[in-house]
Structures are given as C-alpha cells and as structure tokens.
Amino acid sequence: MSLFAYIFLIMLPAKMLAEAGGAENPERIAWQAGLLACLGSGLIELGGAFVVEKLRKATPRAALLSTLSGIALTFISLGFLFRTYAHPVVGLVTLVHCQR
C-alpha cells in the first residue's frame, strides 16, 4: 500500500515539477525523489526502533490491534462490495436503497 503513496505523492509530483522546469531527464529525478523518500522513511523507522518498546508497553493492546483489524475487515468486505456492483442492476438497486 505504501507503494501507491510513494508513486502518487512523491514520484509523480517530482516528475511533473521536473517536466515543468524543463529538466533533461524527469524520470531520473522522480526515481531519485523516491529513493530519498525511502531513505527518509528508513531513518524514521530506525529512530522509532529505539523507542517502540516503551511505546508498546504504554499503549493498550486493543489500540495496537485496532488498525490491523480495520485493514482485515476492509479486505473482507471489499470482496462483497465488488461482487455487489459487478452486475449493474443489483448495484443500482443497492445504491437507490441506501440513499433513501
């Protein structure tokens, strides 16, 4: 999932700025921006590794697992959502019913 953030929030704007600035090779600049962002992310994770144990002990277990359960429920429900809207007649009936 973080790949999409790197591509659309870091590399694409860097490429567009490089193209607007008339750079010779905007793809290389976008690649370098992605590398720099990845390095920065790694440094943040490295710094967090030294304080994570104290944070884990201070945070309730349910709060730590809520993000994981939210992701799991999203992936489970997306299959049903896609199947519902795979057939337009069923999807439109569901949409109309939800808006009332």
pTM of the model: 0.59
CB 5 within 8 A of CB 25: no
Rounded Cα–Cα distance for residues 33 and 96 (Å): 45
**For position 25, what pLDDT does the model report?**
94
Tokens of 89: 């007649």
**For position 99, what pLDDT does the model report?**
61
Helix (H, G, I), strand (E, B) or coil at 95: helix
**For position 47, what pLDDT does the model report?**
94
Identity of residue 15:
K
**For position 3, what pLDDT does the model report?**
87
In the chain (100 residues long), the average pLDDT of successive 10-residue segments reads 88 95 94 96 94 90 87 88 73 64
